[in-house]
């Protein structure tokens, strides 16, 4: 039995940006320099901005760090750090946020600036 192989290059889309199967950015008509006025995707900037976005989401949807601790099942220290914007969240916490607020969480956490 032979394995199925695609006839062309493999392109993976992550948050609108396209990458080949090695993780190298691929220019397509809908991304990169072909996209017109949209800026190139900078994963380092996303990582730098995420703690602030997370804190904005947390403060906008929960009454205090204790409430955050209860909803996300995290330590008191973690809840306070999030509240102050001193750290981001694990993927599982982001998933909880999206389940709690399916429209607002993705807009606040992932929307282009």
Position 72 in a domain: yes
Q: Tell me how many domains the chain contains.
A: 1
Position 38 in a domain: no
Pick the range with the lowest mean pLDDT from 21-30, 37-46, 104-113. 21-30
Whether residue 82 is predicted with pLDDT greater than 50 in this model: the reply is yes
Whether residue 17 is predicted with pLDDT greater than 70 in this model: the reply is no
Position 11 in a domain: no
The DSSP H or E segment spanning 110 is: helix 104-110
Position 58 in a domain: yes
Instruction: Name the residue range of residue 75's domain.
Output: 43-110
Whether residue 31 is predicted with pLDDT greater than 50 in this model: the reply is no
Position 89 in a domain: yes
Residue indicated by tokens 């599982």: 92
Domain CATH code at residue 50: 1.10.260.40
Better-scored residue on pLDDT, 25 or 57: 57
Helix, coil or strand: residue 102 = coil
Tokens found for residue 67: 């409430």
Secondary structure (H, E, C), 23-83: CCECCCCCCHHHHCCCCCCCHHHHHHHHHHHHHHHHHHHCCCHHHHHHHHCCCHHHHHHHH
Tokens found for residue 5: 């192989």
Helix, coil or strand: residue 109 = helix
Tokens found for residue 65: 């760090």
pLDDT at 112: 59
Position 32 in a domain: no
């Amino acid at each position: 039995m032979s394995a199925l192989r695609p006839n062309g290059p493999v392109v993976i889309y992550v948050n609108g940006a396209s990458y080949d199967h090695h993780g190298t950015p691929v220019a397509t008509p809908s991304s990169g320099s072909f996209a017109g006025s949209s800026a190139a995707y900078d994963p380092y900037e996303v990582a730098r901005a995420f703690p602030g976005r997370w804190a904005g989401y947390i403060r906008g949807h929960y009454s205090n760090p204790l409430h955050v601790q209860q909803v996300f099942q995290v330590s008191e220290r973690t809840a306070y750090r999030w509240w102050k914007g001193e750290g981001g969240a694990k993927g599982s916490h982001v998933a909880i946020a999206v389940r709690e607020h399916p429209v607002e969480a993705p807009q606040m956490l992932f929307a282009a600036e």
